[in-house]
Amino acid sequence: MQIASLTHPFGCGHPSEGLVAHLKATPGVQQVPSPKVAMFVVKNFLDAETCTELIRLIDADRRPSTIADPNGDYAFRTSETCDLKSSDAVVARVEAAIADLLGIDPRHGESLQGQRYEVGQEFKAHTDYFEPTGRDYARYCTVSGQRTWTVMAYLNEVEAGGATRFKAIDKIVQPEVGKLLAWNNLRPNGTVNPSTLHHAMKVRAGTKYVITKWFRERPWG
């Protein structure tokens, strides 16, 4: 598990140039070449033992996934979700490692979540930010503000399918044990970025496990 030496110099407000510059300068971090989205990949961010333990926690406490603004498509998100507890030592260690990697004040982070996808399950093309015109925007964003950064890590390799597709930037990310993917959901001026639209594609064989951490403009809670 890689931990950057920087100690949370950034909140999650805007502009985010400092955070991007920090990631670009961090050893082992690869930037996805795109003028549309600030996106980064870190291979082997989590070790196999940590991934196995997180999978165990997800299997033990999973529930059907939901979406903030229902769109009438009941097959839009068919995965299962687990709210991982920071009181667990492994979860706390992973959350700290993610915050240190990005250099983000951990108080801006939502609780770590795990997702599980069986054969045929997917999360159709969506964005992680809350639509400013959505009916639940005030409910989810009044206190902590908009979601800024998404950090996702794959916990296992999938026999077939299960990739994450970013259509606007022509990028498909394949699951690999411990691989981390991070991107800014907002443009440099702080407006939401539709180019972050992504699709958790259907699993064709096997089971897919990931963890996701979202950060906010203001402290979470």
Does the residue 107 lie in any domain?
Answer: yes
Does the residue 9 lie in any domain?
Answer: no
H/E run at residue 55: helix 48-60
pTM: 0.92
Q: How many domains does the chain have?
A: 1
Distance, in Å, from the CA atom of 189 to the CA atom of 221, rounded to the nearest integer, reads: 25
DSSP 181: E
Distance, in Å, from the CA atom of 218 to the CA atom of 102, rounded to the nearest integer, reads: 16
- What local confidence, expressed as pLDDT, does residue 69 receive? 64
H/E run at residue 56: helix 48-60
Does the residue 164 lie in any domain?
Answer: yes
- What local confidence, expressed as pLDDT, does residue 77 receive? 87
- What local confidence, expressed as pLDDT, does residue 9 receive? 54
Does the residue 106 lie in any domain?
Answer: yes
Does the residue 136 lie in any domain?
Answer: yes
| Surface-to-core class of residue 98, CB atoms within 10 Å of its CB (0-12 exposed, 13-18 middle, 19+ buried) | buried
Token representation of residue 121: 């399950």
Distance, in Å, from the CA atom of 113 to the CA atom of 119, rounded to the nearest integer, reads: 20
| Surface-to-core class of residue 88, CB atoms within 10 Å of its CB (0-12 exposed, 13-18 middle, 19+ buried) | middle
From the first residue on, what is the mean pLDDT of each consecutive set of 10 residues in the chain (221 residues)? Answer: 46 71 96 97 98 98 82 81 97 98 96 97 95 87 96 98 97 98 95 97 98 96 76
Does the residue 115 lie in any domain?
Answer: yes
Does the residue 206 lie in any domain?
Answer: yes
Domain of residue 109 covers: 17-216
The CATH number assigned to the domain holding 128 equals 2.60.120.620
- What local confidence, expressed as pLDDT, does residue 1 receive? 53
Does the residue 21 lie in any domain?
Answer: yes
Single-letter amino acid code for the residue at 60:
A
User: Rg (Cα) of the chain, in Å, rounded?
Assistant: 16
Distance, in Å, from the CA atom of 8 to the CA atom of 182, rounded to the nearest integer, reads: 16
